[in-house]
């Protein structure tokens, strides 16, 4: 089994491009695939993000999981910086590595 990790900080991440492309590459065979979506905005409105990023794609597989990046000092609800949100791509990758429970992982990112 392999996990595909999709990271995004975009309000409209065009995740349909990811799912449609992956479905084409898999020839519709999702039997050994997990999808882990690390979405920055899901820490603020999880239900809305789940409606956008997960539920429409259950037609491909039930193995889709949505979460926000792990707590960090540079961005998100737990940030300690006072000026603004800082770019923290490595944090999203680390979150995926921590949550991955398959032998292999492939990462894909969309950032603004």
Q: Which residues contact 108 (CB under 8 A, 6 or more apart)?
A: 4, 5, 6, 7, 18
pLDDT value at residue 20: 95
Q: Which CATH class is domain 2-110?
A: alpha beta
DSSP state string for 16-65:
HHHHHHHHHHTTT--TTEEEEEEEGGGGT-HHHHHHHHTGGGTTT-S-EE
Domain ranges of the chain: 2-110
What are the pLDDT tens digits along the chain (112 aa)? 999 999 998 899 999 999 999 999 999 999 999 999 999 999 999 999 999 999 999 999 999 999 999 988 888 777 887 777 776 788 889 999 999 999 999 987 655 4
What's the predicted TM-score (pTM) here?
0.89
């Amino acid at each position: 089994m392999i996990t595909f990790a999709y990271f995004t900080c975009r309000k409209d991440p065009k995740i349909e491009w990811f799912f449609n492309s992956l479905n084409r590459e898999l020839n519709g065979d999702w039997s050994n695939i997990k999808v882990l979506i690390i979405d920055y905005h899901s820490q603020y409105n999880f239900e809305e993000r789940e409606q956008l990023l997960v539920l429409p794609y259950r037609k491909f597989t039930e193995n889709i999981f949505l979460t926000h990046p792990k707590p960090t000092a540079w961005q998100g609800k737990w940030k300690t910086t006072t000026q603004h949100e800082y770019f923290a791509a490595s944090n999203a990758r680390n979150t995926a590595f921590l949550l991955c429970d398959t032998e292999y992982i492939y990462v894909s990112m969309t950032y603004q």
